[in-house]
Amino acid sequence: MPKTAIYPGTFDPITRGHEDIIIRATKLFDRVIVAVAANPKKQPLFALQERLDLAKAVLESCPNVEVLGFDDLLTNFAKAQDAQVILRGLRAVSDFESELQMACMNRHLAPQLETFFLAPSEQYHFLSSSLVREVASYDGDMSEFVDPLVAKALKLKKV
> Which residues of the shown chain bind ligand COA in the complex (CB under 6 A)?
8-10, 12, 15, 17-18, 21, 37, 39, 73-74, 89, 91, 102, 105-106, 120, 124, 127-130
Min dist. Cβ of residue 30 to ligand COA (A): 21
CB of 41 or CB of 158, closer to ligand COA: 41
Query: Catalytic residue at 24?
Result: no
Give the rounded distance of the alpha carbon of 107 from its chain centre.
Answer: 20
CB of 89 or CB of 153, closer to ligand COA: 89
Q: 3-state DSSP helix/strand/coil percent for the chain, to nearest 5?
A: 45, 20, 35
Q: Which ranges in 10-126 belong to alpha helices (H)?
A: 16-26, 48-58, 74-80, 93-109
Rounded Cα distance between 147 and 90, Å, is: 21
Min dist. Cβ of residue 127 to ligand COA (A): 4
Name the residues annotated as catalytic: 18, 42, 91, 129
